[in-house]
A and B are shown apart, each in its own frame.
Chain A
Amino acid sequence: MSTSTSTTHYPAATVKEAIESHTLAVIVDNEPGVLARVIGLFSGRGYNIESLTVSETEHEKHLSRITIATRGTPMVIEQIKNQLDRMVPVHRVVDMTIAGPAIERELAMVKVRGKGDNRVEALRLSDAFRARVIDATAESFVFEITGGSEKIDQFINLMLPLGLVEVSRTGIVAIARGPDGM
């Protein structure tokens, strides 16, 4: 008799697959509750959301674009795409990670408080990262930085010992390279 201590209610997955990160672009009708539907799908089915951004992109057609960064096995990623695609207000789902070369960007605002050398060092680093100063007082800066998530992580890590107070990030947005739309 097996002595496994599995606590799932259902049989275990047939194949153990590696976890992958994917970024999905989802075009939806901009209607009340559409974001709740998408988020409810992820929470209800136990999928991960690493980052989610949403905004109306085509006002006259009432279309919004949701960019979701998620993680899962290839089977789960396929499920997520299919589950999204079958939702009534969803027009298109594109997996930016496999659709072709794509650019991913994030914007962060980073508040740093400090005086003396720390302040000078923060300003010098922000210059190296091409971050802009968008607010300043005698003892603080707010930097605006855009870039890939790793670059922003790195910048934040560098600010940590220099007096990091607060970070606000937009989450990932993505678009395909080249002349064609999705």
Chain B
Amino acid sequence: MGIEASRSRKIEPQQPGAPVTTQPAMTLAPDADGVSAPIHASTHADGGKVEAVGGTPTVSDAGTRMTGAEMVIRALADQGVEHLFGYPGGAVLPIYDALFHQDQVRHILVRHEQGAVHAAEGYARSTGKVGCVLVTSGPGATNSVTGLTDALCDSIPLVCITGQVPTHMIGNDAFQECDTVGITRPCTKYNYLVKNIADLPRVLHEAFYVAASGRPGPVVVDIPKDIQFASGAYARPNEFPHRGYRPRLHGDIDKIKAAVALMAAAKRPLFYTGGGVINSGPAAARLLRELLRLTGFPVTSTLMGLGAVPATDPQWLGMLGMHGTYEANLAMHDCDVMVCLGARFDDRITGRLDAFAPHSRKIHIDIDPSSINKNVKVDIGIVGDCAHVLDDIVRLWRDVRPAPDRGALKAWWGQIEKWRGRKSLAYRASDDIIKPQYAIERLYAATKDRDVYITTEVGQHQMWAAQFFGFKEPNRWMTSGGLGTMGYGLPAAVGVQVAHPDSLVIDIAGEASVLMTMQEMSTAAQYRLPIKIFILNNQYMGMVRQWQELLHGGRYSESYTAALPDFVKLAEAYHAVGIRCEKPVDLDAAIAEMIEVKKPVIFDCVVDPAENCFPMIPSGRAHNEMILGDAAQSLEDAVTEEGKVMV
């Protein structure tokens, strides 16, 4: 195989409607082809007997015969996939050929495989569906690794199909060969190498089940080229697609009762919610809001959990953690009962572990048993899906009608209001230079009544977006939380816009991050996706610069980006619109123009290069040791020697 066989580029990718090959309707029982019929009777960890399914073919349907490549596209269509993000190459050409002959699944051609995975993440996060990726072997697979790891950290359901060299060449260091399953094993929830065409339909459907069930995550299906050419019998999705994996959805009712009793007796309670509430679906956010009304408790959330509770809710304290609000962090520190819903006590949240919420009893609800008691020992750990457990809690609370200590709750709210009065997000306004916080505030004001989705890159702008943009609904906020991947936001915005073509999709970006995946502007132009790239341009890797100011005596080693591109001209080069804004007085009009333009826009918002992101809990410090913006002169003493070695 020569180089020309790989990475072939189509000049005109928006194919005119190719003739559609209609498949015969499949009306018969699943798994009736007798091909993928393992013994389904087995037991799972919780001791439950798994129903026996499949086994003997009961109906005469022998499954439609087709090639492996056709099976891939057919399985995607049967799984309800409408959009596939990918990049062709030698080892996936048969699948691209199958793609050519149908119009059920639409392919979005990206410019780099990392962009494909982030786009699929944005698509998945904003729709609640599984995001799909198709890439070639070798470099196609390795380029997708960052995106897969990002999806694993943030529990985003993805199915990534990778091409592989033919089975007889595996292990021979063939051209564009890599050990894809070996490389992606630690960065996926699960992965498969399909070496037999008979396994392919089952594996494809299983991949969707594994990706979407339990704690969601990315799944890789590695398909050698000869399997793509091979012919076999297709089988439709099973009702029980996996023989062993059955994540537990319902929490232990006795523990839930104990949790309700603990909550009812609380004097200083607090809900601490996370991405699990978003992943659990709209019902979880609705039930959470209902529970807030019933209990009157305050609520804070992680970066990943923003939107589950509207930012305008009076019980909402803002985000917590390293750059969380004063009231959220001090409420965490001083609470006596903490109810953690779908969050995982990440180090950005807890700060110094031995000083984390020292007087609290903790309830932790999570679908992943390994999240419970991992970083922080809890009193009641409930394994289950947030929506299911919340449903039980709400029902029990209504049945029991507990009589919380109203006096204590009133005093607690009084304390919280005092903390709120500290106005920890305040910043020094300016008439001369755009403060980044001001830019986000104005962006929020201009878009809050619109159908808007926000993605971000990683750094200061991401924290300011989380602090100053008020989210009303879940699934409207796409950001790289766990892995912190610079370059996430632009391709994610592409994916979100593909899923919601008529919505306003804005990537709040930093000029350093966005250059990492800037090539996806070309994708946006090709598919006429009117994404808005709102760059807070401070010419620095702002968060790196802030840490250097804090930890390294202001020696800004390599954090200044000299020779930045002219973003307006860059936008024009990508057939997009460029807007530059340098003065606060011009900002509102410029934002209005950005929203009005029906094309992709790069908005170069030139902001104060010296601004730092506050409040901040320095590494190695406790929640009640946070630094506020107006006390920033004490920065040099802010970090202990111990804290300096932390990230």
Bound-state Cα–Cα, A7 to B642, Å = 8
Residue interface mask A1-23, B partner, CB < 8 A = 1: 11110111111111100000000
Of the candidates B190, B242, B351, B354, which one forms a contact with A14 in the assembled complex, judged by CB atoms under 8 Å apart?
A: B354
Q: Which of A11, A60, A63 has the most CB of B within 10 A?
A: A11
Contacts of B15 in A (CB 8 A): none
Query: Which chain A residue lies CB-closest to B242?
Result: A88
Known contacts A78-B373, A90-B45; A10 and B347 CB within 8 A of each other: yes
- Is A4 in contact with B354, judged by CB distance below 8 angstroms? no
Known: A61-B42, A62-B38. A14 touches B376 (CB 8 A): yes
Q: How far is the CA of A34 from the CA of B87 in the complex (A)?
A: 30
Taken together as a complex, chains A and B put the C-alpha atoms of A11 and B621 apart, in Å, by 9
Chain B residue nearest to A32 (CB atoms) is B193
Contact at A3–B641, with CB atoms within 8 Å? yes
Q: When A and B form their complex, which 3 residue pairs have the shortest distance between CB atoms, in order from nearest?
A: A82-B370, A11-B353, A88-B190
Question: Do B620 and A83 have beta carbons less than 8 Å apart?
Answer: no
Q: Which residues of B contact A93 (CB under 8 A)?
A: 45
> A80's closest neighbor in chain B, by CB?
B370
Closest to B213 in A: A88
With A and B bound together, what is the CA distance between A89 and B637 in angstroms?
50
- Among B66-74, B180-188, B227-235, B460-468, the one that faces the other chain is B180-188
A30 to chain B, nearest CB (A): 11
A-B contacts, 25 listed (Cβ < 8 Å):
A1-B640, A2-B640, A9-B646, A9-B647, A10-B347, A10-B647, A11-B351, A12-B353, A29-B243, A36-B185, A62-B38, A75-B373, A78-B373, A79-B374, A82-B370, A85-B45, A85-B369, A86-B370, A88-B190, A88-B244, A90-B244, A91-B42, A91-B44, A91-B45, A92-B44
Q: Given contacts A9-B646, A33-B185, are A61 and B39 in contact (CB under 8 A)?
A: yes
A40 at the interface (CB under 8 A from B): yes
Nearest residue (CB) in A for B645 is: A7
Contacts of A29 in B (CB 8 A): 243-244
B369-412 contact mask (Cβ, 8 Å, vs A): 1 or 0:
11011101100000000000000000000000000000000000
Residues of A within 8 A of B323 (CB): none
Contacts of B215 in A (CB 8 A): 86
- Starting from the known contacts A6-B645, A11-B353, A40-B186, 4 additional A-B residue pairs (CB-CB under 8 Å) come to A2-B640, A4-B642, A15-B377, A91-B45
User: What residues of chain A have their CB less than 8 Å away from a CB belonging to chain B?
Assistant: 1-4, 6-15, 29, 32-33, 36-37, 40, 44, 60-63, 75, 78-79, 82-83, 85-86, 88-93
For residue B41, which residue of chain A has the nearest CB?
A61
Query: Contact: A12 with B43, CB < 8 Å?
Result: no
B347 contacts which of A11, A78, A89 (Cβ < 8 Å)? A11
- CB pair B181–A6 under 8 Å, yes or no, is no
Please tell me which one of the listed residues B45, B352, B370, B377 contacts residue A83 in the complex, with CB atoms under 8 A apart.
B370
Contact between B369 and A82 (Cβ–Cβ < 8 Å)? Answer: yes
Q: Which residue of A lies closest to B646 (CB)?
A: A9
B485 within 8 A of partner (CB): no
Once the chains bind, are B372 and A37 in contact (CB under 8 Å)? no
State the CA gap A92–B48 with chains docked (Å).
11
- B512 an interface residue at 8 Å Cβ cutoff? no
- Rounded to whole angstroms, the CA-CA distance of A61 and B243 in the bound complex is 10
Instruction: Please give, as numbers and ranges, the residues of chain B lying within 8 Å of A44 by CB-CB distance.
Output: 186
Task: Please encode chain B, from 215 to 253, with 1 for each CB lying within 8 Å of some chain A CB and 0 for all others.
Answer: 100000000000000000000000000111100000000
Min CB distance A102 to B, Å, is: 19
Give the CA-CA distance A156 to B2 in the complex, in Å.
58
- The reply to whether A12 and B354 form a contact with Cβ atoms under 8 Å apart is yes
Instruction: Give complex CA distance A75, B374 in Å.
Output: 7
Kindly state the separation between the CA atoms of A33 and B453 in the bound complex, as whole angstroms: 40
User: B348 to chain A: closest CB distance in Å?
Assistant: 11
List of A residues within 8 angstroms of B181 by Cβ: 33
The complex places the Cα of A13 from the Cα of B377 at a distance, in Å, of 10
What mask results when residues 617 to 634 of chain B are scored 1 for a CB within 8 Å of chain A, else 0?
Answer: 000100000000000000
Residues of A within 8 A of B641 (CB): 1-4
Which of A62, A75, A86, A91 is packed against the most chain B CB atoms within 10 Å? A86
DSSP majority for the A interface? Answer: loop
In the complex, what residues of B have CB within 8 A of residue A2's CB? 640-642
Q: Do B377 and A14 have beta carbons less than 8 Å apart?
A: yes
Instruction: Give chain A residues whose Cβ lies under 8 Å from the Cβ of B44.
Output: 91-92
Please indicate the chain A residues that have their CB under 8 angstroms from the CB of B43 in the complex. 91-92
Contact A79 B354 (CB under 8 A): no
Q: Indicate whether B210 reaches chain A with its CB closer than 8 angstroms.
A: yes
> Is B189 part of the contact surface with A, judged by Cβ < 8 Å?
yes
Does A88 lie within 8 Å of B42, measured CB to CB? no
Within 8 A of A (CB), among B310-332: none
Q: Which residues of B are found within 8 Å of A60, using beta-carbon distances? A: 39
Give Cα A92 to B42, complex, Å: 10
Among the interface residues B182, B351, B642, which one has the most CB atoms of the partner chain A within 10 A?
A: B642
A62, B193: Cα distance in complex, Å: 17
Query: A4 contacts which chain B residues (CB < 8 A)?
Result: 641-642
Tell me, rounded to whole Å, the shortest Cβ–Cβ distance linking B321 to chain A. 13
Q: Inside 8 A of A10's CB, which chain B residues have their CB?
A: 347, 646-647
Please determine whether A79 and B640 come into contact, CB atoms closer than 8 angstroms: no
Known A-B contacts A88-B242, A92-B45; A6 and B642 likewise in contact (beta carbons under 8 Å): yes
Distance in Å: Cβ of A125 to nearest Cβ of chain B: 44
B352–A11 contact, CB under 8 A?
yes
Chain A residues with CB under 8 Å of B611's CB are none
Residues on the A chain within 8 Å of B351, using CB: 11
Q: Are B620 and A11 in contact (CB under 8 A)?
A: yes
Q: Which residue of A lies closest to B620 (CB)?
A: A11
B245: contacting residue among A1, A82, A88, CB under 8 A? A88
Q: Which residues of B contact A1 (CB under 8 A)?
A: 637, 640-641
Interface residues of B in 11-55 (CB under 8 A from A): 38-39, 42-45
Q: Would B645 and A89 count as touching, CB distance under 8 A? A: no
Partner pick for B354 among A8, A11, A36, CB 8 A cutoff: A11
Q: How far is the CB of A28 from chain B (nearest CB, A)?
A: 9
Query: How many Å from the CB of A82 to the closest CB on chain B?
Result: 4
Distance in angstroms between the alpha carbons of A138 and B372 in the assembled complex: 60
Q: Within the assembled complex, what's the spacing in Å between the Cα atoms of A95 and B111?
A: 49
Shortest A155–chain B CB gap in Å is 37
Chain B, Cβ-Cβ closest to A60:
B39
A9 to B374, CA, bound (A): 16
Contacts of B640 in A (CB 8 A): 1-2
Please give me the residue from chain A that is nearest to B368 by CB atom. Answer: A86
Q: Which residues of B have CB within 8 Å of A61? A: 39, 42
B185, B350, B370, B377, most chain A CB atoms within 10 A: B370
Chain B residue numbers with a CB within 8 Å of A79 are 370, 373-374
Cα distance A12–B646 when bound, in Å? 11
Neighbouring A residues of B243 by C-beta, 8 Å: 29
> Chain A residues with Cβ under 8 A from B244's Cβ?
29, 88-91
Q: Is the CB of A36 within 8 A of B377?
A: no
In whole angstroms, how far apart are the Cα atoms of A121 and B356 in the complex? 62
A8-B42 CB under 8 A given contacts A29-B244, A79-B370:
no
Output the least CB separation between A62 and chain B (Å): 7
Closest B residue to A37 by beta carbon equals B185
Q: Does B353 lie within 8 Å of A14, measured CB to CB?
A: yes
Cβ contacts under 8 Å, B646 to chain A: 8-11
A63 to B376, CA, bound (A): 34
B354 A82 Cβ-Cβ under 8 A: no
Q: Kindly state the separation between the CA atoms of A63 and B42 in the bound complex, as whole angstroms.
A: 10
